Amino acid sequence: MMFLWRTEIMTNSIRIQHYVPRFYLQNFSNKQRDAFLVNCFDKTSQKIFRVNIENVAAESYFYDTDKYTNQLVEKSLGRHESEFNAAYQKMMKVKNYRALKKKERTSLLFFMSSQEIRTREMRESLKDMVQQIHKRLLRERLSDHLREQIEEAGTDAAIKDLHVKVLVEDVPKIVAIMAQMKWVLMQNRTNMPFWTSDHPVNRFNPVVHKPYGSLGLVKTGINIYFPLSPSLVLCLCDPLFYRMLPDKVDVTDEEEVIFQNHLQVNYSTRHLFSPTNDFALAKKMISESPDLGDVTRKRHDVT
């Protein structure tokens, strides 16, 4: 299966563009009449409130750029979400990835890969990295023309262009790597739910790789976690390092659930989502590390 960014002209303009799909958030919500409401924790204000999934993890014209016209990216994502949703719902039902057809597994990989890249958090991460590099370069002796180019590349418009370019060009490359990784389903048997957030897909590696970082997809020990529901997490991991792991793991210790939710607090931009309104862990983490509540916090260390 190929992820196609089609270029046909479409007349209906979509203003509110979701970077976490509503069909996904629905699994963390509670239905009330015709609406699906999810408990939300705002890391900036530390307030807890219930909100319609229509109104979260979305921004006006989030993917619209001068290069990708006719809302190419938003509408391509929307078309593919029906395929993603079918594979996602089947996984939720059977809870066994080996029961999925090859095309369905590939659909899930495209969903997971695009979900990691398409968020506000990825845009903020790119912005932080680019701006730090620019500050480093601007300390050097540069021509006025080059200095102007560097400053222009750090603007919000340039960062948006870069983010959309990465989304369009890198998803198929990431899927090709993910396809070689081991799949492990983590079934939550505790009374504590897995959370999700405005940046659901996160990486963790217990193996420290210096000096270039440990979170690359081909790094020894890498894990990529994606909470599919409050009771199910899909983990893609290093197939050699974790070769003895079974295809499915029952999570009976709340410490593992806490660890998964800890990742959501650490790597989300602003909002956490849960079927319950208990966000004590998030409050504790932010009280200990206030930067976690700052949308513009430093995310990279460029020297």
pLDDT tens per residue across span 271-299:
999 999 999 999 999 999 999 999 999 99
Cα separation, 286 vs 288, in Å, equals: 5
DSSP β-bridge partners for residue 48: 41
Domain residues of the chain, as ranges?
A: 16-293
At 60-84, the pLDDT tens digits run 999 999 888 789 899 999 888 888 9
The mean pLDDT of 182-208, rounded to a whole number, is 98
- What's the chain's average pLDDT? 92
CB 168 within 8 A of CB 69: no
The dihedrals phi and psi of 286, each to the nearest 5 degrees, come to -75, -35
Task: Count the alpha carbons within 13 Å of 232 in the hemisphere toward its beta carbon.
Answer: 19
- Sequence-ordered list of residues with C-beta below 8 angstroms from that of 41, at least 6 positions apart, any chain: 47, 48, 271, 272, 273, 274, 279, 282
pTM of the model: 0.92
Cα separation, 13 vs 139, in Å, equals: 43
CB 94 within 8 A of CB 265: no
Is pLDDT above 80 for 214?
yes
SS3 of residue 233 by DSSP: strand
In angstroms, the first-to-last Cα distance of the chain is 41
At 118-163, the pLDDT tens digits run 999 999 999 999 888 888 877 777 777 777 777 777 899 999 999 9
Residue 24: band (very low, low, confident or very high) from pLDDT cuts 50, 70, 90: very high
Residue 303: band (very low, low, confident or very high) from pLDDT cuts 50, 70, 90: low
CB 199 within 8 A of CB 268: yes
